[in-house]
Homo-oligomer: A and B are copies of this chain.
Amino acid sequence: MNIYDIAELAGVSIATVSRVVNDSPRVSEKTKMKVRAVMEENNYTPNVFARGLGLDSMQTIGIICPDVADMYMANAVACLEHRLRGYGYDCILYCSGYQQKKKENAVDLIMKKRIDALVLVGSTYADVGTAGSGCEYIRKASAKIPVFLINGEVEGDNIYCVYSQDEQAAYEAVSELIASGRQRILFLTDSDTYSVMKKMAGYERALKENGLPVLGELKLCLKNQIQYVRDILLSRRTLVFDSVLATDDGLAVGAVKYAHAKGLSIPEDLAVIGYNNSEYAICCEPELTSVDNTGEKLCSMTIDNLMKVVKGEKIPAKIPVECTLVKRCTTDF
């Protein structure tokens, strides 16, 4: 059932049917009704491929993230998808993994689908951080369509970034730890992405401003797996620390488990701060104090901006968003 069939059944031309489909004002109410009736009857749906061919758009946005199974990304994708629907857009999802080659491949492949814009979720898509991160593939994509980074930062025309102020958030978290008497604060992470660099910078700034030394032994980069973190901490018998700032809630839970295993009480003997304010934080016993990087806000802002750009409006290329520290039971301030 195509536009010709409808036209014939309704006794009009395909041009008129097309106008009705697109709700053009240049059609009389009478014929509009008539055509609509025929369309209903035959439950006609315009062919999106043909329409795409003509308009060079299928109202589709590409979303790439390293891994949707990750809770943070899953939340982000859920939020993005929901908001895009609100604007009548569909989304194509691509999980790229974290390797440079795979990320490039992902962008390459998704671009072939002639999406209207591209959203990249996560700080793995950033100019700095991980060693040797070329972001040319992102700039290349931005030559064709607008690219939006969530929690990433890449310089370039037609590239727009919304990111949380991780430096400041880490600074404030560590400052509170110090103010409550902590001296040896373990910085626990699982990668060296852009956002981790920012968190570390905030951590160091707080130490320095309070006259505390920045010690290499108090920075640990581990695989993000609860038992693994616990076991590694248990095995580092000479490592002394009275508190932890983790760059992810999963790592923080590992630290909490370590405390349990070692018989330390929380927060008295060990204070722990996580990051992302995920469901881990509430699942954890005791419940985890965690930095909320307002993922939903980042996502909804991004989509709102995306729609503006698609409509030709101008928006700022970089928008930092504040984090908030959600205090629960693993800290005593």
Interface flags, A40-57, vs B, CB<8A=1, else 0:
000001011110110010
Q: How far is the CA of A79 from the CA of B284 in the complex (A)?
A: 26
Asked if A3 lies at the interface with its beta carbon under 8 angstroms from chain B, I say: no
Name the segment of A20-28, A63-71, A125-133, A237-245 touching the other chain. A63-71
Q: How many copies does the complex hold?
A: 2
Residues on B with C-beta less than 8 A from A70 are: 74
In whole angstroms, what is the CA distance A114 to B282 when docked?
42
Number of A residues contacting the other chain (C-beta, 8 Å)?
Answer: 49
A173 to B94, CA, bound (A): 37
| Given A52-B52, A53-B53, A285-B285, residue A78 in contact with residue B71 (CB < 8 A) | no
Known contacts A49-B49, A56-B49, A91-B93: does B78 contact A67 (CB below 8 Å)?
Answer: yes
CB distance A75 to B81 under 8 Å?
no
Known A49-B49, A68-B77, A256-B285; 11 more pairs at CB < 8 Å: A49-B56, A58-B113, A63-B93, A68-B68, A68-B78, A68-B81, A69-B75, A70-B74, A280-B283, A283-B283, A284-B285
Going nearest first, the 4 A-B pairs with the smallest beta carbon separation are: A74-B74, A49-B52, A69-B78, A49-B53
